[in-house]
Chain A
Amino acid sequence: MILRAPANAIDPRMRTYWTVQALTATAVLGALVATATTIAAVLGAATAAWAVGLGGGLGFVIVGVSSLVAVRLAYRHFRYEVTEHGLYVARGRFWRRQQIVPHARLQTVDTTAGPLLRAFGLVAVQVSTASAAGGISIPGLRRPVADELVTELARRAELEEGT
């Protein structure tokens, strides 16, 4: 560990949000496997039906379980913090990524919320810099927390402007 972990976690509801997303994707996969198996069975290709059904079913279970685990890990390891001089975000359990954007370098702060995210009462905060690769996105915060974060970032960016 080179840098300490940032102080704040994102909203716990993000776990449910991501789980819904992951389950939807898994359900689509399951439906595809079921359709393919049915078609093979109807056409009388018993071996193919078994192969598709078993292979697809196994894939379905693996994808489902691993995406549920991935959601838990992504939630637990996404942390952010507004420090005195910068915004600090860490993410990822295996492929770890820590980004720091100095307040003086901040260009825009956007809050966005898709329909599903809004249904959870959450918004996403996007921070952009002059570099496309240097942007930061915090995926799920409650509206008041996000508003507070945006105000704080704007205030600090203004303070740092002269330095």
Chain B
Amino acid sequence: MSGQELGGRLHPLAVLLIARRFVGMSLLPAAALLLSAGTKVLVPLLVTALLVGVPLAVLSWSRFRYRVAGGRLELHSGVVGRKVRTIPLDRLRGVDLTASFLHRLLGLVRVEVEAAAGGGSRAELSLAAVSQSDAERLREALLGRARGVEEEEPGPRRLYRASPGLLALGGITSMRYLLAPAAIVGFVFNLADDLPGDIAGRAADAAAERAPTDPVLIGLLAAGAILAVVLVAAAGSLLVDWDFTLEDDGERLTASRGLLTRRLVQLDRDRIRGADVRDTPLRRPFGIAAVTAIAPGLRGRTGGTTLAPVTHAAAAAALLRSVDPLAPDPRAPLAPHPPAARTRRLVRTLPLALLSVVAATVAMVPWAIAAAALLTASAVVLALDRYRQLGHGFDGRRLALRGGSLLRRWSELDPGAAVAFELRSSPGQRRAGLCTLTLHLGQGAGSRRALDLGEEQAAELVARLEPRILAPLVASREAGRGPG
């Protein structure tokens, strides 16, 4: 404990941000009023809102204070009821600095303090807007305790930096947008329901009237739509991960990213128990993948544990080693799962696909037959690839697992990070001599599983994975051969 003392309030301009939150809350009702009642009602209403809202924002700003003293962080707030939240500094998990576009215009930063509350649940505190220098000082005071003297010596080491080209390529090949059409359709329909005067209905009619019937035009439109999706995907990736930089100061990794909203996320190195490398069939030809850390206890916020949004395979291996020195190479071959696993993958996908072929044939609709045949063919290709991707390896310290096809994931992790081990087998798996081994990590890090391991493989792996805990449980036939 360095006993640093620090206190203050939010930046005066934070009033604007607080007020904006009030505006945000009343924006929809106000818009509805404007549409239904016109400006006569709206203007007096707006004036009232300003008269009430601005003093309220100022008051709530003036009541908000933070203080770091005696090994604690205190936040005082509340307009009507007073509230004090206290967090011991040794409970802090991390301090994140975020700057939205508005924040950056005003030169402010939002500070989010992540703390482990008792019983494993998490509490989070945030300071809506402080100046850059206050934020830096606050972070030093909150986290500085653990840094000690060496902190001044070497500057942070840069582990990764995203280039715009790679980010754009990553966005295009992420394949996440395959899920997007459904979301967009849902959004549009929701919006259409809320619009007054059946605007949506009239727009749809107009669109239907002008709908193209020419196949060439339809083809062009489809091509245009695909191009638009690709551009949006690239732009989205650039927007979110612009200039993603990962730095290592020996104890903590600091990732900063974002074009308009800039986020700064910190991750304690000794919380890292492994890593995931993800890619898609579109990414594989380019040899690029995304790298995330497995860090139980860190809130599962999107991108919170991202180490590299897109990187080349060789760079990914180097990055993994610098974050987790024991990490195996993701490109290293893994032990394949028995051929019975391939049969099982096929058996599990084919019935539905074949059923669609039968249904289409019975209905005698030519294009449906073609579509069903295509579906069946892609189901087979997918099942075969899902089998080919299955693999595991254990070098005595890190377990490597691979699975999935459209979203392929290779994981390496310390088996000691598991809070529970689970072996499952269905009747079909047992007939084929297979089983599934799952390691539950918990605390937001999820589970990692080895799907359809051969029984012999599973027995050997289980015995070596945790010799103390699991090896004594292995049935005597396997134990007779000696574990590992």
Closest Cβ neighbor of B453 among chain A residues: A2
A85 vs B120: C-alpha distance when bound (angstroms): 22
Pair B447/A107 contact, Cβ less than 8 Å:
no
**Complex interface: chain B residues within 8 A of A133 (CB):** 420, 422, 438, 440, 442, 447
Pair A97/B423 contact, Cβ less than 8 Å:
yes
Pair A100/B472 contact, Cβ less than 8 Å:
no
A133 vs B444: C-alpha distance when bound (angstroms): 11
Pair B423/A2 contact, Cβ less than 8 Å:
yes
Pair B420/A99 contact, Cβ less than 8 Å:
yes
Pair A131/B447 contact, Cβ less than 8 Å:
yes
A101 vs B425: C-alpha distance when bound (angstroms): 18
- Known A2-B462, A85-B469, A95-B426; contact A131-B420, beta-carbon cutoff 8 A: yes
How would residues 90 to 119 of chain A score, 1 for a CB under 8 Å from any chain B CB and 0 otherwise? Answer: 000011111111100101000000000000
Of the residues A96, A98, A134, contact of B419 by C-beta under 8 Å: A134
Q: Say yes or no for B134: interface residue by CB 8 A criterion.
A: no
B245 to chain A, nearest CB (A): 31
Q: Say yes or no for A3: interface residue by CB 8 A criterion.
A: yes
- Known A100-B470, A130-B419, A134-B442; contact A2-B475, beta-carbon cutoff 8 A: yes
**Complex interface: chain B residues within 8 A of A120 (CB):** none
- Known A95-B424, A97-B424, A133-B440; contact A4-B462, beta-carbon cutoff 8 A: no
Q: Say yes or no for A83: interface residue by CB 8 A criterion.
A: yes
Which A123-138 residues have C-beta < 8 A from chain B? 129-136
Q: Say yes or no for A1: interface residue by CB 8 A criterion.
A: yes
Pair B469/A129 contact, Cβ less than 8 Å:
no
B277 to chain A, nearest CB (A): 22
How would residues 414 to 451 of chain B score, 1 for a CB under 8 Å from any chain A CB and 0 otherwise? Answer: 00001111111111001000010010111100010000
**Complex interface: chain A residues within 8 A of B228 (CB):** none
**Complex interface: chain B residues within 8 A of A88 (CB):** 473
B479 to chain A, nearest CB (A): 8
**Complex interface: chain A residues within 8 A of B423 (CB):** 2-3, 96-98
Pair B474/A3 contact, Cβ less than 8 Å:
yes
Closest Cβ neighbor of A81 among chain B residues: B473
B439 to chain A, nearest CB (A): 9
Q: Say yes or no for B247: interface residue by CB 8 A criterion.
A: no
B38 to chain A, nearest CB (A): 52
Q: Say yes or no for B466: interface residue by CB 8 A criterion.
A: yes
B408 to chain A, nearest CB (A): 22
- Known A86-B469, A98-B422, A100-B421; contact A130-B458, beta-carbon cutoff 8 A: no
Q: Say yes or no for B296: interface residue by CB 8 A criterion.
A: yes
Closest Cβ neighbor of A86 among chain B residues: B469
How would residues 41 to 74 of chain A score, 1 for a CB under 8 Å from any chain B CB and 0 otherwise? Answer: 0000000000000000000000000000000000
Q: Say yes or no for B40: interface residue by CB 8 A criterion.
A: no
**Complex interface: chain A residues within 8 A of B447 (CB):** 131, 133-134
Pair A132/B424 contact, Cβ less than 8 Å:
no
Pair B427/A3 contact, Cβ less than 8 Å:
no
- Known A4-B474, A134-B442; contact A100-B425, beta-carbon cutoff 8 A: no
**Complex interface: chain B residues within 8 A of A86 (CB):** 469
A99 vs B443: C-alpha distance when bound (angstroms): 18
Which A21-48 residues have C-beta < 8 A from chain B? none
Q: Say yes or no for A84: interface residue by CB 8 A criterion.
A: yes
Q: Say yes or no for B478: interface residue by CB 8 A criterion.
A: yes
- Known A99-B422, A102-B466; contact A94-B427, beta-carbon cutoff 8 A: yes
**Complex interface: chain A residues within 8 A of B442 (CB):** 129-134
**Complex interface: chain B residues within 8 A of A129 (CB):** 419-420, 440, 442
B423 to chain A, nearest CB (A): 4
**Complex interface: chain A residues within 8 A of B424 (CB):** 95-98
- Known A85-B469, A134-B442; contact A4-B476, beta-carbon cutoff 8 A: yes
Closest Cβ neighbor of B466 among chain A residues: A102
A88 to chain B, nearest CB (A): 6
A100 vs B422: C-alpha distance when bound (angstroms): 6
B273 to chain A, nearest CB (A): 12
**Complex interface: chain B residues within 8 A of A1 (CB):** 475, 477
Which B292-325 residues have C-beta < 8 A from chain A? 296
A95 vs B419: C-alpha distance when bound (angstroms): 22
Q: Say yes or no for B459: interface residue by CB 8 A criterion.
A: yes
A118 vs B462: C-alpha distance when bound (angstroms): 38
- Can you pick out 12 interface pairs between chain A and chain B where the beta carbons lie within 8 Å of each other? A2-B459, A3-B473, A3-B474, A95-B426, A97-B423, A102-B418, A102-B466, A102-B469, A105-B420, A129-B420, A130-B419, A131-B419
Which 9 A/B pairs are nearest by Cβ-Cβ distance?
Answer: A131-B442, A134-B420, A130-B442, A134-B440, A131-B440, A129-B419, A105-B419, A85-B469, A98-B423
Given A3-B423, A129-B419, A131-B441, 11 other A-B residues pairs in contact with their CB atoms under 8 A: A1-B475, A2-B423, A2-B474, A86-B469, A95-B425, A99-B421, A100-B422, A101-B420, A102-B418, A131-B443, A134-B447
